Structure 1
Amino acid sequence: MISRRIINFSMLAAPFVLRSLVAHADETDPIVGQDTPFQQLAFPPIDSIDNEELFGYSPPTEAQRSKAAAIINATPKGPTAFDVAKSFITRFAKSDPDAISQWPAPQAWNPLVKEFFSATSLRVNNDMVDWCAAFVNWCIERNNKKGTNSAASQSFANSGILPRVDTPKQGDLVVFTCYDKQSGKSLGIGHVAFFEETTGANTIRVIGGNQSADGHSSIISERQFLTTPFDVHRHVGGEYVACIYKLNGYFSIV
């Protein structure tokens, strides 16, 4: 988060996401919420956010911008938004994972991640912003469908644009919501990703952005999640708060 403007937006709109640890999941991989503890990126200290040089918020080179533009231009437009999302994993997860990852300090910000926010009303100037909702919206728009135009994960559950479905099919959206452990109230934060398949009685596999994998703290990845409630700690308002993550529901792209 490079400026106080962006930090303030994050506190208000809460486009936060759930982090995970490994990509290319199969049935033997750790499951978020069951085998894998919650993980979250470390952001710069609050009193140092205006010092761009120390924390790697330098702009990308022209070569890096050109590479990101080439990736965008080569991304398919379908057949579905799910296929758009999965194409990033197919093309880069093995051969060039950095291309689809948030670049940690002291590197520059990834212009590909920044581009995903073109599908939202939020304009960012780096990649140190939670981007799961931006990625989903970008994939939906790439498929010539209408998303929520929001950088907040909960917009997919609360906007009324997407119908809720009881039994998901591949390509539907999965929304998780974080609740305060003491009051039980929603914190307005969570995660959104594309549903791929059911992998067990209480587990599903999703494809999403801003999920961790193979040493990358924030990358487009394939991951299993527990669908029953599980405890986490979330970074909210500068503090780690005890929370419960719950599956909010499944939503169809229309």
Structure 2
Amino acid sequence: MKNRAKTLLASIGAIARLGLVALAVIGGGGLALKLNGGSPPEETKRIPPALHDVAVTSGTQSLVLAGGCFWGVQGAFQHVAGVVSATAGYAGGSAATATYEMTETGQTAHAEAVEIVFDPTQITYGQLLQIFFSVVHDPTQVDQQGPDVGKQYRSAIFPLNDEQAKVASDYIAQLGQEGAFSRPIHTSTEVGKTFYRAEAYHQDYVYNNPSQPYVYVYEQPKIEALKRLFPAQYRERPALVADQAG
């Protein structure tokens, strides 16, 4: 397993000595690597809600999202009221390559993804997409989030049906037309893909490792931004995978 903490610290030290990197403060008080001369991360902000949404039904609904390292995506959505569970995993590729070691090669078509099960009477599909684009990741980056680079870290929505696909595509178009971001959105909608659950050691990672350098710098700020920008949707106690198993 790649140790993201060691990778982060080694990269900062090595690149900084070459004068190629700057530390940029982003929303929520976190830090992000910015290559000198490159594009800075988008400011974390609450973007407009979707004009159209998936119909509310009885029972739970699910969606699958990818926005960089699945630790932070999972960690943020676990704090959203109405979310029943958020599970780290892989989507976009085949069952045979749905492992951390193979996905990290960037050659499998998989993205690190999170399956979110939610109660639509408490929070809707469209509202979850609003949170996803506002505080969970930067949708203007191409195959990258923070220090993580590669197709496995792309911004993607994996619709589970035609209605989800339509709402997702319409929302991306809406945000583009409204100029919600200073750069174009590069979030793909990838239909017909299966979600595969990640290894046990990746589940609840942010909750279990709050002081790990990578988590502290890149993932915890997403939770703080959620609390600040979406106070009505924030809950203190996360919906942990460990609790579901129990």
TM-score by length of 1: 0.26
TM-score by length of 2: 0.26
- Return the structure number with greater helix share: 2
- Return the structure number with greater strand share: 1
